[in-house]
Structure 1
């Protein structure tokens, strides 16, 4: 189907995008200084995954992050550093008043050479290093997922040694059975809960037909972050608040323990509009949930 091809192109583009950013980061690590953590907001606030605004970021990172801050965002999640050094990224974040608690990291980097990404993450001030996606040839069998759980446990130990934490970001394929077994079940069983958490992408979970609250209820504290991504009635991506996903019901549930909420739309034609609409929606939802719990 054309829709499937669009989604495959989306995640392939993300993979190439992040690998490019990781290579650029590796080249500049020699000049990194002593890391100092950038603190995140104490209360949940709307954040944004910067893949949503990747084209403006590539042209002008400082200007783009300034606009993101003007919209009202306090937190951002990176997916590559756009040929900037970690020190440069940190300085821009300081200038704009933004915190960057998380970044996505390519699966091949995590498996083959995680050291530079860990050093860069510490320099920028991230709390979380998140596996972004698995290539199709890396997710054909359950045994492959078991091996990836081993990779993530090792990566989690390395991240913890540097003062950070590791997490896994899902798409729909982790939630679709392979020979009767759901890959995410294997990841939850095989990954050490003290070393590897999960960033739940709500769009991809919905697309896979997952009962999101039932998934969260299995181990609420394992799901520390989420991608707030909406779906239209045809199953395509939509600006947050214009689609069919009931974010308020999810976030108001007792099994929702998310610490960070990142708006995202992979195919945003007008990325700053997407960012503004998403921020307004998520801000209202989080405030309503907070008030209901008082």
Structure 2
């Protein structure tokens, strides 16, 4: 099995980082996470963040960057990523008004331009899905697939959130295999479904409905580089949740 890195999407710990960003990073490193994916930097200067990550032996995987910031502050985002040694810039979300088919045509053009500029700087552009990319069609094709069909791989890679893929009614194993070789980052997330379609939430790894071990095996075969833990909402204190998730990975994957 291809050995994938174990990372954490720091959005999971947004309340903790708002109170103490550096202290939270120290706790993440102590748990055994090998890398972090940012969703904001807590007003920490790039040079300080670089030094802190080096001290903690944490790899900067990349960062979730809003489309607005990618459009309005792309050069600043590039500079920060290069300073901390991050390889990936990821668009994590699209506002509601940008999710209709006609809007996606413009989004694809924007993504192409952003991806080309990032590629010039040696940074890989990726897109992180939710469920809505599977619920809208563009010229008879699901938006998720249309996005990658219309943009060359060197300008856009896949960050697949496997929890949202399953939530959208798509077979996770099929989609991992479909995007093998273009899927460097996989958000490993567990969902627990309740008595109704709306009763669903993210839970610690191993507590939900996803078949995580086959997903991890498929990810390895698809040449995924990083498994990235993310829990959108935590019923328990978030630091406890991410500690439980990496404990599950140590027992089931890293053993």
TM-score scaled by length of structure 1: 0.79
- The secondary structure found in structure 2 opposite 1:102 is strand
- Flag as ranges the 4+ runs of structure 1 deviating above 6 A: none
Match of 2:177 among 217, 233, 254: 217
- The secondary structure found in structure 2 opposite 1:48 is strand
User: Where does structure 2 lack aligned partners over 5 or more consecutive residues?
Assistant: 195-199
Whole-Å Cα distance in 2 between the matches of residues 155 and 108 of structure 1?
11
CA-to-aligned-CA distance 1:232-257 (integer Å, 9 cap, x gap): 13232111111111111012137532
Whole-Å Cα distance in 1 between the matches of residues 217 and 202 of structure 2?
23
- The secondary structure found in structure 2 opposite 1:101 is strand
* 1:133 and 2:100 matched: no
Match in the other structure for 1:172: 131
Whole-Å Cα distance in 2 between the matches of residues 45 and 203 of structure 1?
19
Match of 1:272 among 239, 244, 247: 239
Whole-Å Cα distance in 2 between the matches of residues 71 and 255 of structure 1?
26
Is the 1:146–1:190 Cα contact (8 Å) retained in structure 2?
Answer: no
Compared CA separation, residues 211 and 255, structure 1 to 2 (3 A): farther
Match in the other structure for 1:160: 119
TM-score scaled by length of structure 2: 0.90
CA RMSD of aligned residues (A): 1.8
* 1:237 and 2:196 matched: no
Whole-Å Cα distance in 1 between the matches of residues 99 and 117 of structure 2?
23
- The secondary structure found in structure 2 opposite 1:222 is coil
Match in the other structure for 2:252: 285
Q: By how many angstroms is 1:206 displaced?
A: 1.1
User: Where does structure 1 lack aligned partners over 5 or more consecutive residues?
Assistant: 1-41, 289-294
Total equivalences in the alignment? 246
- The secondary structure found in structure 2 opposite 1:167 is strand
**Relative to total residues, which structure has the larger helix share, 1 or 2?**
1
Whole-Å Cα distance in 2 between the matches of residues 64 and 147 of structure 1?
38
**Relative to total residues, which structure has the larger strand share, 1 or 2?**
2
Match in the other structure for 1:262: 228
Q: Which moved more, 1:237-246 or 1:212-221?
A: 212-221
